[in-house]
Amino acid sequence: MNKIVAKKQLSENVYRMDIEAPLIARERRAGQFLILMVDDSVGERIPLTIADANPATGTITIIFQTVGATTIKLSKLNVGDSIAAVLGPLGKPTSIRGENGEAPGHIVCVGGGIGVAPMHPIAQACKAAGNKVTIIMGARNVSLFVMEEEMRTIAGENLILVTDDGSSGRKGLVTDPLKELCEAGGVDEVIAIGPPIMMKFCSLTTAPYHVKTTVSLNTIMIDGTGMCGGCRISVGGKTKFVCVDGPEFDGHQVDWDLMMKRMTAFKPIEAAAREHVCNLYKGI
């Protein structure tokens, strides 16, 4: 179960893995995520988005960045190794414009950093439902782009690359072209996935234009099925659980500052754990 069948390092800290998970590959829809454990005795449960799935081969694709103890351990696994526990697909699938009777329109997908990975199946589904899809990909520099070719396949010439340092595409932030597109008009929906700060500013950018803005959140969670409540956030003044009410929410309603603070709850402990794991691997 959960055998790694392919592994590729995409950049210094970003990895792509294809994993045998036929049940998840069969059921998953765009927007859903999984929870995995590298060690099912004393390991931790972490949520990761599903970047791709192939029901025919029974495999799913994850793309992850080594940010903490578990993702570092995960990155050390190789083809042929198995991941101790993989649970999914979790969360509600994305509601894709055009799939439920409404007319297709123009959707702008904004992916920041490895947020492009979870954006991939969503952009694919948007395209398949007949929408015009514009994709804005942003990263600090060119080496941090993932899935550029896959995204180009979907968006064609409507793929806009933005880097902080101008090493690829436009120099600046994803909100720059986003604002221009909103200004030009005709945008029916914006879907933004990336670091919380990026999603917050995308939401702030689109708000004056009243463009529907969907964001996909990845908060701290344990079970992923609504049992612990650790992932809770405030949306429009109401408490919501990211795992079962989300992971997608109206970006204009999310209390971003509270959410970002909640994500730092265990930061000092996580940093110590990361240090510990790094030292372990240094010794090998």
Binding region for other proteins (CB under 8 A) out of 96-104, 155-163, 176-184, 221-229: 221-229
On the question of a cis peptide bond just before residue 196, with omega within 30 degrees of 0, the verdict is: no
Does 239 bind other proteins (CB under 8 A)? Our answer is: yes
Q: Cβ contacts of residue 99 below 8 Å, gap of 6+?
A: 125, 129
Q: How many CB atoms lie within 10 A of CB 26?
A: 13
Contact mark string toward other proteins, 80..99, x via CB under 8 A: ----xxxxxxx---------
Contact mark string toward other proteins, 29..58, x via CB under 8 A: --------x-xxxxxxx-------------
Q: What share of the chain is helix, strand, coil (3-state, %, to 5)?
A: 35, 30, 35
Q: To the nearest whole angstrom, how small is the minimum distance from the Cβ of residue 264 to other proteins?
A: 7
231 contacts 207 by C-beta, under 8 angstroms: no
Binding region for other proteins (CB under 8 A) out of 21-29, 49-57, 124-132, 136-144: 21-29
Which of 27, 165, 180, 250 is in the footprint of other proteins by CB under 8 A? 27
What is the H or E stretch that residue 126 is in?
A: helix 116-128
Residue with Cβ nearer other proteins (1 or 180): 1
Binders of other proteins in range 240-269 (CB under 8 A): 244, 258, 261-262, 264-266, 269
Q: Which two tokens stand for residue 283?
A: 């010794």
Rounded Cα–Cα distance for residues 101 and 78 (Å): 44
- Total site size for other proteins, rule CB under 8 A: 43
Which of 209, 234, 252, 253 is in the footprint of other proteins by CB under 8 A? 234
